[in-house]
Amino acid sequence: MGAYENPQIITDTQSGQHLMNLQASIVSSFGDVAKSYKVKQDELRRKLEENKLQIQKVEQETEEYAFALRTNVNKLKTSNGKINMADTFEPLIQEAVKLKSGLLNNSITGQDRQLAMQKLADINSTVSGNFTESLASLGGFAEDVEKAMLRGVGVEGGLAKDMTGEQIKAIRILQGKLEGTKKAVYLNGNPNDLMWEVYDKDNNLIQSYSASKLKKMDELGNEYVKLVPDRTAESEALRAEATNIFETKPLDARDPSKGNTATGRILDAYLAKDANGMVKTSKEYIDKEKTKYRLVNEVNKEDIRKALDDKLNVQLAGMTDEELMLYTNNVVDPRRIEKGLDTSCFDSDNVLSKEERVAAEEMYKQYFVDTQVANKQPVLKEDSSVAIFEEPTPEKGSDKKDKKEEKKSQQQALLEKVFETPSSQRTKNNVGQGTIVSAPGGKRTFKILAPEDNGKTGWWSEIDKDGLPIGKPLTDSYVKAQIGYRKQ
């Protein structure tokens, strides 16, 4: 090629095509994006619609659930119109609806779902039955206390003496005997924590009862009422078992399998005997004139007390400290009422120490013997084994005679003291100043006085209106002669 050559012209025939292809690709991509967006929007719209339907379904189901709960509550209200059921159950219903909704829309997850389902079950049980059962228990509680009240206070089966006035007032309101209201409250929305609150007529809260702690009255340990144990059945059973001491007979003569009962009589082996081994017997008059009598045997209660020790120990082993304290304070040793004391024999709010338990058991045993074993019993048949100890029958006017003799004996003792004390040593402190002695027949009296000037005593037969002696004192020998004194 020469020094100068025409440049070669290159024609681009591909770029345009590439540009066109690029533009087509871009347009296609935008189309795909738009199509994908539309699909996603349609899917989202569909899901939103489904969610809306699901939410509506959840709301409808929870509303139906709430309606069912309120319907059951209204049934309770119909039978218990005096209790405001809306105040009682509305907090529980709101909590139940919240839990139901969370379970349906899956906003409650994991372990919380199990807890939520358990609480829902508790609420359902409460509304459908547990509340009514608790209300029935409360009514039974009031009825049982009424039975105890009818027995009295401080007696077996009755109310304990240390129940407070507020406790008794609340019970009387529950029984409808006093004006007031009761209210059921679920603490902190917990369906398992029902409290019964009792208000007086002025709407003052006077007592709260936990439904879980309410017990029937035959179950001691109830913190809301103190009931004195009724040991009647146990006492009768012990006497029926101690056939070596007590006479017994079948409860049902036609059916011996029903067991025996004590007749109240003591067997001969436990009757008191004299030195010759004969049963001690005395007369017991049965009329005011003391013309009619019956023979009675003396019972050997000391030996019976020892013989019953093992059986009484078995009884006591089955008594809790609380039972024993209540029984001791109210029945065995009711000192608070009798002596006006503020405290009982044992503190019924605390357990017994070892020493207190021993003391209470001994008191229980002695009380059993004192009350369940008679001191004497009528003789059913006289025979040679009966030794009668006669008591002298008082004569008519003997009471006056006895008093006269007693007065005479006292006067004799005083005179001996006075006359044996030298007159110079007689003072108003060692002789009966002011004592009057009489001459035989009471025709003349003499009075011992101790003049204030020298503190010595003397005898005077004349006293003025102010009680002062008149004249000179009389001598011992003169007084002795006048009253016929003889040293015995």
| Structure confidence by residue, pLDDT tens digits, 438-464 | 555 444 555 655 444 444 556 655 555
Spatial neighbors of 375 by CB under 8 A, at least 6 apart, are 298, 299, 301
- Give the integer Cα–Cα distance in Å for 395 and 408: 20
pLDDT of 314 reads: 94
Whether the per-residue pLDDT at 307 is higher than 80: the answer is: yes
Closest CA to 128 of 181, 91, 82, 92: 92
- Same domain as 194, residue 122: no
Domain range for 182: 131-210
pLDDT digits (tens, 9 = 90+) for 379-397: 876 544 444 444 445 555 5
The two tokens of residue 383 are 């025979």
- Give the integer Cα–Cα distance in Å for 206 and 83: 17
- Same domain as 174, residue 120: no
Strand partners, 185: 195
Would residue 153 count as lying in a domain? Answer: yes
Spatial neighbors of 119 by CB under 8 A, at least 6 apart, are 95, 99, 191
Whether the per-residue pLDDT at 178 is higher than 80: the answer is: yes
Whether the per-residue pLDDT at 129 is higher than 90: the answer is: no
Would residue 140 count as lying in a domain? Answer: yes
Number of domains within the chain: 4
Tokens 């101690």, residue? Answer: 242
The two tokens of residue 2 are 């020469």
- Give the integer Cα–Cα distance in Å for 475 and 468: 18
CA distances from 117 to 152, 174, 214, 286 (A): 49, 35, 27, 79
Q: Which one is predicted more confidently, 238 or 69?
A: 238
Contact in structure between 93 and 70 (CB atoms under 8 Å): yes
- Same domain as 81, residue 145: no
Mean pLDDT in residue range 127-149? 77
- Same domain as 183, residue 119: no
- Same domain as 361, residue 305: yes
Which of these three, 339, 373, 407, is where a domain ends?
373
Would residue 380 count as lying in a domain? Answer: no
- Give the integer Cα–Cα distance in Å for 470 and 451: 12
Which of these three, 167, 187, 210, is where a domain ends?
210
At 336, the pLDDT band (50, 70, 90 cuts) reads very low
The 3-class secondary structure across 396-418, one letter per residue, is CCHHHHHHHHHHHHHHHHHHHHH
Would residue 139 count as lying in a domain? Answer: yes
Would residue 252 count as lying in a domain? Answer: no
Angle subtended by helix axes 232-241 and 309-317, to nearest 10:
140
